[in-house]
Amino acid sequence: MKLVGRVAELRAARADWGRVGRVPTMGFLHDGHLSLLRAARAVNETVVNSLCVNPTQFAPSDVFASYPRDTPRDLELAAASDVDVVFMPSEYDVYPPGFDTWVEVGALASRWEGEYRHGHFRGVTTVVMKLFQMIQPDAAYFGEKDYQQLVVVKKMVADLNLPLEIVACPTVREPSGLALSSRNAYLSVERRRAASILYRAMLRAQELASSGVSESSVLLAEMQEVLAQEFAADLDYLAIVDRESLEPLDRVVSQARMVGALRFDGVRLIDNLELTLRSA
Ligand code: PAF
């Protein structure tokens, strides 16, 4: 495995790499990231894992400095996952002094997470675009765990005619159902079990939809009842939305997506799940 830090080095080597699959991460790798690396490994000649804690995607309320980091462990996990290249650009390479060009997706990025984390998606799309320019991958792998991020990145790729494929990979969960996230490190094992309440609420809605319940108000009320069982859960938003436009739906016609975010013991957790209506 090769460790690359400079863009010039990456550019010089890129021509020999054949089909490149890129897995973008902010490090502190967990099984969710490893599943993306496996998906990339299966079909690409070269797998590039970028490790970059991106300062511009942290809204003022988020704490960039305390974001969990463990580079030696990340490198071990990447090597064990048969990654060919780990790209760790310096902050100087990504945001040189005077940097002032931003990539911003409109309506899709402004609701849900966009309302709670101002500027977050502008930071994500800017760094994702910059790293696409540096690595020039043929495919990039994103987890469905960050569903809105996935939809926003797909929109950027389509709108800007970027010549690459975005591959969506299923959410990986702890045995309790809690979606894997680097932020789970802030919670004890015991609290993580309790924090899976959002997922359990979504499973309840899915159960109802499977039995034919289609009104969003009914499904949301049922989810709220499940969430009320956990006093530590402080909900930011919960919605049933169109899978592509992310617009709220009054009624599920065949499929929709549940999206939600809550604060649990002060840790912000997001989740989402497909909702499939039983056909009559
Ligand atoms: O999902 C993440 O880890 C980040 O938002 C990403 C895509 C690596 C951009 O910094």
For ligand 1, atom 7: residue with the closest CA: 24
**pLDDT tens readout for residues 214-237:** 999 999 999 999 999 999 999 999
Active-site residue identified among 30, 33, 118, 120: 33
How many Å apart are CA 103 and CA 8, to the nearest integer?
22
148 band by pLDDT with thresholds 50, 70 and 90: very high
| Ligand 1: nearest atom to the Cα of 24 | 8
Q: How many residues does the chain have?
A: 280
**pLDDT tens readout for residues 7-61:** 999 999 999 999 999 999 999 999 999 999 999 999 999 999 999 999 999 987 7
Question: Ligand 1 centre and the CA of 27: distance in Å?
Answer: 9
How many Å apart are CA 187 and CA 118, to the nearest integer?
25
Question: Ligand 1 centre and the CA of 25: distance in Å?
Answer: 5
Q: Is the CB of 26 under 6 A from ligand 1?
A: yes
Positive or negative: CA dihedral 183, 185, 191, 196? positive
Q: Hey, how many other C-beta atoms are within 10 angstroms of the C-beta on 12?
A: 11
- Fold of domain 182-274: Pantoate--beta-alanine Ligase; Chain: A,domain 2 (3.30.1300)
CATH 3.40.50.620 domain locations along the chain? 2-169
For ligand 1, atom 8: residue with the closest CA: 25
User: What CATH superfamily classification does 2-169 receive?
Assistant: HUPs (3.40.50.620)
Catalytic residue status for 120: no
Q: Is the CB of 54 under 6 A from ligand 1?
A: yes
Q: Quick check: 96 pLDDT over 70?
A: yes
Question: Ligand 1 centre and the CA of 53: distance in Å?
Answer: 8
pTM of the predicted structure, to 2 decimals: 0.97
CATH 3.30.1300.10 domain locations along the chain? 182-274
Question: Ligand 1 centre and the CA of 238: distance in Å?
Answer: 22
Q: Quick check: 98 pLDDT over 80?
A: yes
**pLDDT tens readout for residues 9-23:** 999 999 999 999 999
